[in-house]
A and B are shown apart, each in its own frame.
Chain A
C-alpha cells in the first residue's frame, strides 16, 4: 500500500480550511490531517485519500483545488519550523497560481453553464513587403 499526501487549496468565500478539516475528521478515515493557511493537507493510503477527497471536493467544486505533494506534512527537511523560518520550497509556485484560482473557478462555472468562450484571433506579423512599402511612402522627398 502506498502512502501519499495531497494538498487541498481552498479559494472559496463560503468554506474555510477548518470546515474541511472538521469534515475530514468526521469521516473517521485512517488519515492524517493538517490544517494550513491555504487549506488542508491529508496523508494516508492512496485509495482512502482519493475516495475521501472526491467527497470533499463536492463541498465547493469551484473553490477546492487539489494536488499531490511529495513530502509528508511536517517533514523535518521541508517544514519551516525546523528550517529557521522562511517560505518552504514549492510555496512560490503555489503563491503564483493561487492568484489565478478565482479566474479558474469562474471559468469552470462558465464551462458548466455551457458557455463557449470566443477564441482570440492571433494577430499576424506585418508582411515584409508591406513594411517596405510603408517605409517608402513615409520617406521625405528632398
Chain B
C-alpha cells in the first residue's frame, strides 16, 4: 500500500514504512523527478512559473505562489496516498524551513480523504520510541500488503 508520510522528508518514517513492507510516498521522489528531467530551467528545484498554476487545484489565485508551488509538488503524492502517517509538530516545520500554511493544507486534505490515518508525536525518550515504533508497526500491519513495484 502507498503510505504518505509527514514530515514528507522524514528518514525515520520512510525507513519504517519500507521496513514493514509498504511503499512510502515522500517528497524526495517528486523532487528527484523534477531535477532529473532533461534541461534544468530553474535550478535548484526546477520549479518553473508553470508549477504554481498546478497548485490552483488546491488553493485560490490570491494564495502565495509558494504555497501553490509546494502544493504542485504534493499533488501526485496526495492523489496516490492510500494511507498516511502524520507526526504532529515536527521540528522541521518550525521557522523558515517549513511553510505552515502548506503543512496545514496537506494535513487538512489528508483528513478529508478518509484514508487510514495515524497521528503521532516524535519520541523523546526510549520508552516513547518503543510506543512510536509499536504503533506504526501495528498500523502498517493492519493495512493490505504492498503490491509488487513496477
Contacts and interface: CB of A to CB of B under 8 A. Distances in A.
Interface of A: 3-5, 7, 9, 46, 50, 65-72, 75, 77-78, 90, 92-94, 96-98, 100-101, 103-104, 106-108, 110-111, 115-117, 119-120
Given A67-B14, A116-B134, A107 B32 contact: no
6 contacts: A46-B149, A71-B31, A90-B9, A93-B97, A107-B130, A108-B19
Contact of B133 (A75, A97, A104): A104
Interface stretch (B74-82, B104-112, B119-127): B119-127
Given A67-B26, A68-B14, A94-B11, A100 B32 contact: no
B26 A110 contact: no
A106 to B, nearest CB: 6
Contacts of B97: 92-93
Given A92-B92, A107-B126, A68 B15 contact: no
B18 to A, nearest CB: 7
Contacts, number: 105
A75 B133 CA distance: 34
Contacts of B127: 117
Contact of B31 (A70, A98, A116): A70
Contacts of A120: 131
Give the size range of B's interface with the partner: 35 or more
A3 B149 CA distance: 15
A93 B18 contact: no
Contacts of A98: 11
B129 A103 contact: yes
A116 B131 CA distance: 8
Contacts of A97: 10-12
User: When A and B form their complex, which 8 residue pairs have the shortest distance between CB atoms, in order from nearest?
Assistant: A70-B31, A77-B44, A103-B129, A107-B133, A67-B14, A117-B130, A70-B32, A107-B129
B69 interface: no
Give the dominant DSSP class at B's interface.
helix
Contacts of B91: 93, 96
A108 B134 CA distance: 8
Contacts of A117: 127, 130-131, 134
A67 B133 contact: no
B49 interface: no
B137 interface: yes
Contacts of B122: 100
Interface in B32-64: 32, 34-36, 43-44
Given A4-B32, A104-B129, A93 B9 contact: yes
Contacts of B11: 7, 9, 65, 67, 93-94, 97-98
